[in-house]
Structure 1
Amino acid sequence: MKFCDECGSMMKSGEGEDHWVCDSCGYEIGRDDGDDEWTTESQVESEIVDVSDAEDKGLPTTTAQCPECDNDRAYWYMQQIRSADESETRFFVCTECEHKWREDDH
């Protein structure tokens, strides 16, 4: 990733990927050999780790009634799913059947 020396915006690879181009102000600069060590997310290979049968999910637990199996314990976490000026939504995951639901679901 490279930032524009003129306006500070993030630069992107230009045609042929031999130079950087700023979308905001049009400033261009050649790519150095050291720039090759940076990769984009699509170029990075990731390893998928299966933790579905792990005992501890690393999440806090609370008393919550599962709508699927009536278990009374659930993991919970907060996630921002709306715009930044809206409050976060609390999600629950049953400790027994792993059913997932939101706090405002009925």
Structure 2
Amino acid sequence: MEFCPTCGNMLLYELPNTGHSARFFCPTCPYVCQIEKRVKIKRHMRLVKKAVDPIFSENDQQNLPTTDTTCPACNYGKAAFYQVQIRSADEPMTTFYICKRETCRNHWRED
């Protein structure tokens, strides 16, 4: 899909006639782009995963508020929590929990 560099409309394809080769043309302005007979092969770049920074660092996790909730992994009764809006604005926020037991530190979420 190609777009006109002058007006931004989508270019249309015109089959080759006796007078000209195949081309793209703009239906609203006089822009015309001739199509070469030789095909250009473009090499695709491999995508590299970008390093993701954590939302909260270890220091931030120590300052989170705590609540009385049970960890599903170790049944400890205290957990730190934070809320993030990960869906659309009309949906409720998602609550993420971190177990406060030093040996567990399990992470879970509640939608």
Query: What TM-score do you get using the length of structure 2 for normalisation?
Result: 0.42
Structure whose residues are more often helix by fraction = 1
Q: Highest CA radius of gyration, 1 or 2?
A: 2
Structure whose residues are more often strand by fraction = 1
